[in-house]
Amino acid sequence: MNINAALLDEIFTGWKNYIWENPAVEVEAKRRMAVCVSNSCQKFTRRKICEGCGCFMPAKVRSLKSKCPIGKW
């Protein structure tokens, strides 16, 4: 698997903001997570994983460069 530097930066940023809460990111992260948790998204699992991309969503929603794989945010 070949992961480019931009994708690694998104992953790192999301996990960094998940572990060390960044107040500037939290409003958007909560909005995104609400979309994922809603019944309108069938890709979100009870384990908080997106079946569309395989990401742990509490971290991914905190990377503001990241996008929903099915275009919900």
| Sequence-distant (≥ 6) Cβ neighbours of residue 46 within 8 angstroms | none
Residue environment code for 8-37, b if the CB has 16+ CB neighbours within 10 A, otherwise e: eebbebbbebbeeeeeebeeebeebbeebe
pLDDT given at position 40: 77
| Better-scored residue on pLDDT, 64 or 40 | 64
CA angle, 34 as apex, 19 and 32 as ends, to 5°? 65
Sign of the CA dihedral running 36, 38, 39, 45: positive
At 47 the pLDDT is: 96
Round to whole Å and give the CA distance between 10 and 21. Answer: 16
Segment 22-31, tens digit of pLDDT: 999 999 999 9
